[in-house]
Amino acid sequence: MRFLTSGESHGKALMTIIEGVPAGLRINLEYINQELRRRQVGYGRGKRMEIEKDEAEIISGIRGGYTLGTPIGILIKNRDWENWKSVMDPEKIFEERIVTKPRSGHADFAGAIKYHFEDIRNVLERASARETAARVAVGAIAKTFLSEFGIEIISFVEAIDGIEDSFDINNFSWDILKKKAESSDLRMIDEEKEKQAKELIDKAKEEGDTLGGRFILLAKGVPIGLGSYVHWDRRLDALISYAIMSIPSVKGVEIGEALYASMNIGSKVHDEFYGEKDRFRKTNYAGGIEGGVSNGEIIMVRAIVKPVPTLRRPLKTFDIKEKKITEGYYERSDFCVVPAAGVVGEAMLAFILAREFLNKFSGDHMEEIRENFEKYKNYVYERLGWKS
């Protein structure tokens, strides 16, 4: 399974083609749109989200509600394009709106030099995280596929700036976590902490600044044996890190409680076997992956998100036309994107897990994959002495 996306932030639309989705998977368009909405809302978003109302248009690969096994094409229109038609004209250059002042923290500077552009807009249009809407549509399909095999993914915000929620991978309720994350627009679990974080975001907004934080992704029901230890580019932890790190503004990825483990002795952090079907390990500091292979425990990924770079009180910049240090510029921006980035994280994790699941239990139709999976499940039960 693979996908490509195309589209500029203020262009006509975003597009994606997902290839390798097996035939016979039931697709619910409303579910895709629901996922797109989850990415759009979230405390700390700016004015652009008041313009956009992301909706997926299925172009190909799905008929009568089921996948055909052919490439799936999806289109998401940019409502804001109406306001940018002339600037984004594919044929005429719009001289009056050329951007020559790179914003620190964006691809603006390095991108303009790398691609020989005089107009930084050529960089920022594609480097923009607007593209992540297309990824979320892909993720909705991956999640639909995974749910057929009892695999579920959730995310929540663990920290905004210095305000931290506490999370214990060894002792938490999946249902409570999921419900709390979904019932709030900052996706934090502790109500008091969330209140404090919102106040901090409001303050940053007032002062023309931005905030970062962390989100956590959890995947439950992942079978033993996705990924592999046999080659560097097949390790599941490496594949997941790559995918999560590709999200704009994510600057760090941690699998399980790696930082905690690095500061503690081995006997405290390696997950001893307990042996029961409902509690096979005593702890899950490894976050469900050992040696690059899923071990049947909940997969845990933590992502570190930087404060978004466009500031209402912009930093000094180097004008690439005038070739001198000057004042930066500001149009509009989000103030905090940690909750939205978490939803994109779910999509990327879902894609990697679906792809690796298909690598292991491959088939052209869902029925074939189901058969392969059931056979393997029986084998695992037998190996571990469990009753099915």
Ligand X SMILES: C=C(O[C@@H]1CC(C(=O)O)=C[C@@H](OP(=O)(O)O)[C@H]1O)C(=O)O
Ligand Y SMILES: Cc1cc2nc3c(=O)[nH]c(=O)nc-3n(C[C@H](O)[C@H](O)[C@H](O)COP(=O)(O)O)c2cc1C
69 vs 248 by CB, closer to ligand Y: 248
Smallest distance from ligand Y to CB 88, Å? 18
Nearer to ligand X, 45 or 143 (CB): 45
Asked if residue 310 lies in contact with residue 45, where contact means CB atoms within 8 angstroms, the answer is no
**Cα 13–chain centre separation:** 20
Site membership for ligand Y, residue 337 (CB under 6 A): yes
Tell whether residue 307 is among the known ligand binding residues.
yes
Which one, 4 or 41, has the nearer CB to ligand X? Answer: 41
Q: Which does 144 bind (CB under 5 to 8 A by kind): ligand Y, ligand X, none?
A: none
Please report where in the chains the tokens 């097996």 appear, as a residue: 22
Residue whose CB is less far from ligand Y, 138 or 340: 340
Smallest separation (angstroms) from ligand Y to the CB of 127: 5
By beta-carbon proximity to ligand Y, the closer residue of 58 and 245 is 245
The reply, when asked if residue 107 is annotated as ligand binding, is no
**3-class DSSP assignment, residue 85:** coil
Pick the binder of ligand Y from 71, 221, 296, 309 (CB under 6 A). 309
Complete DSSP assignment for 200-250: HHHHHHHTT----EEEEEEEESPPTT-S-SSSGGG-HHHHHHHHHHTSTTE
Min. distance of Cβ 16 from ligand Y in angstroms? Answer: 16
Asked whether position 184 contacts ligand Y by CB under 6 A, the answer is no
| Residue 308 counted as an annotated binding residue | yes
160 binds ligand Y (CB under 6 A): no
334 sits near ligand Y (criterion: CB under 6 A): yes
Q: Which residues bind ligand X (CB under 6 A)?
A: 9, 46, 48, 52, 128-130, 133, 248, 331-334
From the list ligand Y, ligand X, none, pick the one residue 344 interacts with, judged by a Cβ distance below 5 to 8 Å according to partner type: ligand Y
What is 275-340 written as a DSSP string? EETTEEES--TTTTEETTEE-SSPEEEEEEEPPPS--SSPPPEEETTTTEEE--------S--HHH
C-beta of 113: minimal distance to ligand Y in Å? Answer: 15
**Which residue's CB is nearer to ligand X, number 126 or number 370?**
126
Can residue 14 be called a binding residue for ligand Y (CB under 6 A)? Answer: no
Among 10, 38, 101, 106, the residue binding ligand Y under the rule CB under 6 A is 106
C-alpha–C-alpha distance, residues 253 and 255, integer Å:
7
In the complex, least distance from residue 188 CB atom to ligand Y, rounded to whole angstroms: 17
Helix (H) or strand (E) holding 147: helix 132-147
Q: Count the helix, strand and coil residues of the chain and give each as a percent rounded to the nearest 5.
A: 35, 20, 40
In the complex, minimum distance from the CB of residue 10 to ligand X, in angstroms, rounded to a whole number: 6
Task: Let me know if 275 is exposed, middle or buried by CB neighbors in 10 A (0-12, 13-18, 19+).
Answer: exposed
Question: Degrees (nearest 5) of the Cα angle 129, 213, 193?
Answer: 130
Cα–Cα dist 220/288, whole Å: 9
**279 marked as part of a ligand binding site:** no
In the list ligand Y, ligand X, none, the entry touching 9 (Cβ below 5 to 8 angstroms by class) is ligand X
Residue 249 to residue 299: CA distance in whole angstroms: 22
